[in-house]
Amino acid sequence: MKQEFDVIILGGGITGAGTARDCSLRGLKVLLIERNDIATGATGRNHGLLHSGARYAVTDKESASECIKENMILKKIARHCVDDTSGFFITLPEDDLGYQATFVKACTEAGINAEIIDPQEAKRLEPSVNPSIIGAVRIPDGSVDPFRLCASNVYDAKLHGAVVLTYTEVTEIIKNQDMLTGVKVQNRRTGECGEYHAPVVINACGIWGHHIAEMAGAKIGMYPAKGALLIFAHRVNGIVLNRCRKPANADILVPGDTVCVIGTTSTKVPYEECDHLQVMPDEVNLLLSEGAKLSPVLARTRILRAYAGVRPLVSADNDPTGRNISRGIVCLDHETRDGIKGFITITGGKLMTYRLMAEQATDMACKKLGLDVPCTTATTPLPGSEEGGIEKIFKNIWTMPTTAQKATVGRAGANVSSIPLSDEYEGSVVCECEEVPVSEIDSAIRNMDVHNLVDLRRRTRMGMGTCQGELCGCRAACILAKDHGDVVAVRNDLKQFMNERWKGMYPVAWGETLRECAYTQWVYAEVLGLNES
Amino acid sequence: MKFDAIIIGGGLSSLVCGIRLQEAGKQCLIVSAGQNALHFSTGTFGLLGRLPDGTAVEEPLLDIPKLPENHPYSKIGIERIKEYAVGVIPFFGKYGIKLCGFNGANGWRFTPMGTFKPAWLALEEIPFFKSPDEVIGHKALIVNYAGFMDFNSVFIAEGLEKKGLSCRIESVKLKVVENLRANPTEMRSINIARVMEQEECWKEFGRTVHSLLKDEDVVVVPEVFGLNNPLVCDWVREMIKANVLFVGTMPPSVAGIRTQKLLKKAFENIGGTFLMGDEALGSSISDGAVTSIKTRNLDGTLLEADDFVLASGHLFAHGLVASTGKIEEPVFGLDVDFVPDRNGWYDKNFFEKQNYLGFGVVTDSRFRAFRNGSLVDNLYVIGSEVGGCNSLNEGSGAGVAIMTALRVADEIIGG
Amino acid sequence: MEKKEVSFNNFEQCIKCTVCTAYCPVVPVNPRFPGPKQAGPDEERLRLKNKMFFDENLKYCLNCKRCEVSCPSGVNIADLIQSARRRYSAATPTLRDTMLANTDVMGRLARPFAPIVNSMVATKPVKAVMDVVLDIDKNRTFPNYKAHGFVGWFNREARSKQAAYSKKVAFFHGCSTEFQHPEVGKAFVEVMNAVGYGVELMNEECCGVAMIANGLWNQASRHAKHNVAVFEKMVGEGLPIVATASTCTFTMRDEYPHVLDIDNSKVRDSITLVEKFLFDLIDAGKVTLVFKKDYAARIAYHIPCHMEKLGWSIFTKRLMQMIPGVSFTVLDSGCCGIAGTYGFKKENYEYSQEIGRPVFEQIRALAPDFVCSECDTCKWQIEMSTGYKVLNPIVILAEALDLPATTAANRR
């Protein structure tokens, strides 16, 4: 099989997805290839913080001003993925209150609106904050759902003609002398092989881009910095909480969707570990003890799960912690750098600046293709974000929306119009914790490259609530089995799904979390009998 | 307030023990912090499904002697277990709970995922077979309520097809069930079961299913009948006029809830006192014996007894409480057998044996508990809280509950 | 922007088992109610994310607390629901709700015209007008307002005698004792006096339960603050607060802190029901009851929902079983459907009767001499729906006791 494209993008994380969208909007014929599902790497394994840039204001002005610009853009183009919560930088008694002035000055210089507020007022606005704070600065942080953001970019790229192949691994980079011309791939689900050609190949594989570059004959000094995070079972805070000091471990608490997330740690890990990250007990302890300093109630709050991601940092110096490496965008033209034509690597950066990264990579690709088309992603809303806030959307459709209908609008934004929710069956709830109805599951299976239950979870939040898939796993498996037809495969997939949930739970399984596990294990082993065979 | 015995916990072991004691003329109080695990029952009782090493068990009574010394069954002894085992069906039968078995051999329950799982005894309406190869029929009609998500029709069909049955899946829309969806929220077995209690509702279901029947000899429907009256299952069978299998749904379990209600009622009818929704908070222990407990609701009222039985369940029921590196028994602060390193609590495969489920309270050979290493003379531990077995892995949950309950009741009666 | 820390409520202990749904009386009869699990812990997570997730259908919750009694995880489900109504509901109480909620004001207004009011609200035309204008169901029978209240009787007949007792209790009589059932208060004073306790009344306000149910949050809080202050004074003087109504007792002990955020920690454990108070004294050997030799009755005991939540029905059972000549049957526990003012509302009338049906059927099947219950709204509902008389246990006790002999036995 041979196919021709203008550009092949490797990596279905947010950078690849954003680049695929940008290229498609500029009229290019795009192929996006992802080894797993979309948003499986660092994209889905971070805080989900919509940075204001304040965190970098003192240490990295360039990143800070990139962040605030992108922050304001995302609040417009990705409304349904973003929660404009605002954020605090708090000073605790053990911190230097003098840093606050430096911080505010740096924010102002970077264009970030930073307002010192009275600690009493801060406590009134955010009752979960540590009551012993001695200072607070309000900045325009927020939260962003990275799965939704990534899926929306992929969806829009497809609407504009892009072809998306998930579970497809690049086995070989095809080169014609110093010219990169395409890739050979293998479908990891079916084993089928294929070959695709394009004059430009963009490597957007994050930390795995190191390997892709090597296959192409280039070397990038990547720095895999593991960051561990904990998810708590409900939103303890309504406002993002940061420590007003130099960036350190576990100093950001982000309210995202129905939960909140504390993170992160930072440790260098060998490349081989990037696919098998585990959260260690000392990381859990550190996150809990530091987290409780931001919000003491965390010590009494149920932990849903632990997870870790790898920041795709590009080495600059020999800093052993990886904290002082620039979070800046790295866009490499391998033609000028390594003499490989038609090959671009876009890496570094962060979730917040994915759109800018995509713009830079697409600009470079267009230049290579001899095209001069302007970028429109800063002003074109993503599908779902065209019509304003969620309340406005559901008020246009229903007079008395049900809880599931409200929740679906919260996830799908204006796309909800394509999800039928009026009849009782369509509105039946699959995931009770996150209120995901049947039709949203159906719609994701049909339109959003869903191959298994874990993919389905990333598209819909099904299984992300307090019970971690205890019931909805089974219910969604039935729907998937009806759609895919292969009941035996879906039963195995259900087991994999439960194992994937368990992986995040056992590192924090004590208290109520362990109790939930005991119940779930009873249901799956004893009631359903899935431990046999 | 003074009783002969106070039992903490309100589940299977507690009620069996309480009923046995009341039958023997002992005045009992049961303190139960909410409802219990019978609500998530499979409708079957396991005595022993697997040995700790994973070997499948066909005749539990033959394999029980192979269990380690510390196992609750070993403490009871095979002779007593045999004696108790014979009495289980009549014991439950006396209180309206009809159990079926295969003369002591393990039978096979057809699960909600279309597989077979071994068990010792089953409640009357539960599909329970002598062997997974037993011929059920030739053609099956699988009927679900339209949009009821907790009945896994496709998996059930696949399981039956594997046995050579051809299957047809249908769904029925009944007005009463549709009505429940006016505000589509959770729709569990119990929501449907509560309306299926009404005669006109189960009759409409029976009629509708019968009208769908072509040449099928087997009809599979969700187990949502007989919440209060098990006869409803028989009546639905009669209306459908086929071999009807009431296959389990996702929890809660209708048969399990009915069993709980019947046992509680039996206990109260023979004079037992049941405090529902109350919680034992603290105890007075002097000279190695418990003298009284306090509960959350009864404020200052002291509850005194000659004997105390702890049946407050495992982690699920808060009978044991886990913190980062510790498992504790919260009411009396009893000694618990567990490994301190949390890495030893879990298997990374969700479906493998999990060690944490085997942690439990340390007891002597008569199931008396220890506190800071010393024996508490009149405090017994029964049910899933007893250490020495991983009942989920062994398939021995109900068996351990019943056997330890009977053993301790005898101990108290005899003493 | 205002947010309350909700982690005090242990809603995260919910493991989605739906045991609460199995015991919720509203679920099978009113599909618009989302059910306790969803309305409580599930939606609490969503409400914390965005208050637009508040569902006005939470008003269908009876606040009977049966979900909490059955919950194996110890979640205060109904508290979550009521607290969410308080924090997020945009609905303003109607004239009807305000009237029903103000049990005390209505009582005071009606009293001077009691005979007229009673006969008026019993007539078809007035019922029809109330049905149409006020949405109070026309099938509902109103309790009779008494022209002479309990407090008036106490001041005239009993107050002067109380000084003779060295031991004393403060009696919270509640609205229905004052306005509809003064005999309950009289029985209380008789029994307490017989066992050697004097009775003091307080400057009490209505406990506020009906205001909570009808969304009159500010008024309920004012009443709660007033009562807590009055109780603190009494408890400071060494007097326990004893009541005869289970719902008032429960509200003042637990709803004040859990739903209204009013701190009652100094007095909470001193607020008790007469049945518990008496039993504890008897159990400690401090009080002796002497019963009439010829008293006989077949009694069916309906445990009110809030009595289940308090967990105190054991005391009533023990006391009733002490009476020789009583055959005492405890009905299968279930809500009678009235839930205070809930069943009075036209939109709830049918649900209310449907919820109570199993209780009514049991009573009819048993055909007792009368029904025993600590709750006056249960009394109204059962009397209206079955025709059987319902008596407060303290009334039964006063009737069954040989009061002079009891007085003599407790005179030390």
* The 3-state secondary structure of A47-95, one letter per residue: CCEECCCHHHHCCCHHHHHHHHHHHHHHHHHCHHHEECCCEEEEECCCC
The chain C residue lying nearest A512, using CA atoms, is: C13
Which of B149, B183, B251 minimises the CB distance to A527?
B251
The chain A residue lying nearest C46, using CA atoms, is: A258
Chosen from C42, C54, C57 to mutate, greatest number of chain A CBs within 10 A:
C42
To the nearest whole Å, the CA of A115 is away from the closest chain C CA by 17
A192 pLDDT band (50/70/90 cuts)? very high
Residue A421: phi and psi, rounded to 5, are -130, 15
* Residue A325 per-residue DSSP state: S
To the nearest whole Å, the CA of B254 is away from the closest chain C CA by 10
Which of A404, A515, A528 minimises the CB distance to B316?
A515
To the nearest whole Å, the CA of C27 is away from the closest chain B CA by 7
- Sign of torsion, CA B362 B366 B372 B376? positive
- Chain A CB contacts of C15 under 8 Å are 466-467, 470, 512, 515-516, 519
- Chain B CB contacts of A430 under 8 Å are 149
- Residue B322 to residue A514, Cβ atoms within 8 A: yes
Q: What is the mean pLDDT of chain B?
A: 95
To the nearest whole Å, the CA of B2 is away from the closest chain A CA by 34
Which of C3, C17, C34 minimises the CB distance to A403?
C34
DSSP assignments along C126-151, one per residue: HHHHIIIII-B-TTPPPPPPPSS-HH
- Residue B181 to residue A427, Cβ atoms within 8 A: yes
Which of B117, B349, B397 minimises the CB distance to A499?
B349
Q: Would an 8 Å CB–CB cutoff place B318 in contact with chain A?
A: yes
- Residue C44 to residue A234, Cβ atoms within 8 A: yes
Q: Peptide bond preceding A264: is omega within 30 degrees of 0, i.e. cis?
A: yes
pLDDT at A366 over 90: yes
Residue A226: phi and psi, rounded to 5, are -80, 135
Which of A403, A470, A515 minimises the CB distance to C53?
A403
Residue whose tokens read 């309504």: A238
Residue whose tokens read 């002597």: B364
Q: What is the mean pLDDT of chain A?
A: 93
B290 pLDDT band (50/70/90 cuts)? very high
Q: Which of A352-361, A386-395, A497-506, B350-359 has the lowest mean pLDDT?
A: A386-395
Q: Of chain B residues 7-66, which have a CB less than 8 A from chain A?
A: 37, 40, 42
pLDDT (tens digit, 9 = 90+) per residue, B228-237?
999 999 999 9
pLDDT of residue C111: 73
- Residue A437 to residue B184, Cβ atoms within 8 A: yes
Between β-strands A240-243 and A87-91, what pairing exists: parallel, antiparallel or unpaired? Answer: parallel
pLDDT at B53 over 80: yes
Which of B184, B251, B253 minimises the CB distance to A428?
B184
A322 pLDDT band (50/70/90 cuts)? low
Which of C28, C42, C283 minimises the CB distance to B194?
C28
End-to-end CA distance of chain B: 22
> Alpha carbon A283 to chain centroid distance?
21
The chain A residue lying nearest B353, using CA atoms, is: A531
- Residue A518 to residue B315, Cβ atoms within 8 A: yes
Chains with 3+ CB–CB pairs under 8 A to B are: A, C
Please report the number of interchain residue pairs, chain A to chain C, with beta-carbon separation below 8 angstroms: 78
> Alpha carbon C39 to chain centroid distance?
23
Between β-strands B121-123 and B99-101, what pairing exists: parallel, antiparallel or unpaired? Answer: antiparallel
pLDDT of residue C128: 72
- Say how far apart CA A128 and CA A144 lie, in whole Å: 21
Between β-strands B360-361 and B374-381, what pairing exists: parallel, antiparallel or unpaired? Answer: unpaired
Q: Would an 8 Å CB–CB cutoff place C12 in contact with chain A?
A: yes
pLDDT at A58 over 60: yes
pLDDT of residue A226: 94
* Most distant CA atoms of chain B, gap in Å: 72
- Chain C CB contacts of B194 under 8 Å are 22, 27-28
Chains with 3+ CB–CB pairs under 8 A to A are: B, C
The token pair that represents C184 in the structure block: 């309950």
pLDDT at B38 over 50: yes
The chain C residue lying nearest B275, using CA atoms, is: C311
pLDDT at A509 over 60: yes
The token pair that represents A67 in the structure block: 């962040």
pLDDT of residue A125: 96
Q: Which of A114-118, A205-209, C104-108, C373-377 has the lowest mean pLDDT?
A: C104-108
Chosen from C16, C53, C60, C73 to mutate, greatest number of chain B CBs within 10 A:
C73
Torsion of CA C293, C297, C301, C306, to 10 degrees: -60
Q: Would an 8 Å CB–CB cutoff place B344 in contact with chain A?
A: no
pLDDT of residue A324: 56
pLDDT of residue A1: 46
- Say how far apart CA A279 and CA A264 lie, in whole Å: 11
- Chain A CB contacts of C12 under 8 Å are 233-234, 301-302, 466, 512
pLDDT of residue A6: 97
- Chain A CB contacts of C2 under 8 Å are 124
Q: Peptide bond preceding B252: is omega within 30 degrees of 0, i.e. cis?
A: yes
Q: Of chain C residues 72-131, which have a CB less than 8 A from chain A?
A: 73
A148 pLDDT band (50/70/90 cuts)? very high
- Residue C21 to residue B191, Cβ atoms within 8 A: yes
pLDDT of residue C8: 54
Mean pLDDT of A355-366: 98
pLDDT (tens digit, 9 = 90+) per residue, A424-476?
778 889 999 999 999 999 999 998 999 999 999 999 999 999 999 999 999 99
Q: H or E stretch including A154?
A: helix A146-159
Chains with 3+ CB–CB pairs under 8 A to C are: A, B
Residue whose tokens read 């881009």: A209
In A127-221 the beta strands, taken as DSSP E runs, fall at 135-139, 142-144, 163-165, 168-176, 179-187, 193-197, 200-203
Averaged in consecutive runs of 10 residues, what is the pLDDT profile of chain C (412 residues)?
Answer: 47 92 91 92 93 91 95 94 91 83 76 73 72 76 81 96 96 95 97 97 95 93 97 97 97 95 95 97 96 97 97 97 96 89 85 93 97 95 96 98 97 75
**Which residues touch A358 (CB under 8 Å, ≥6 apart)?**
A15, A18, A19, A21, A22, A346, A377
Q: Which of A257-271, A383-397, C185-199 has the lowest mean pLDDT?
A: A383-397
pLDDT of residue B187: 86
pLDDT at A110 over 60: yes
**Residue percentage of chain B with pLDDT more than 70:** 100
- Say how far apart CA B338 and CA B353 lie, in whole Å: 15
Mean pLDDT of A88-112: 97
The chain A residue lying nearest B250, using CA atoms, is: A471
- Residue A511 to residue B323, Cβ atoms within 8 A: yes
Residue B399: phi and psi, rounded to 5, are -60, -45
Q: Would an 8 Å CB–CB cutoff place C137 in contact with chain B?
A: no
pLDDT of residue A7: 98
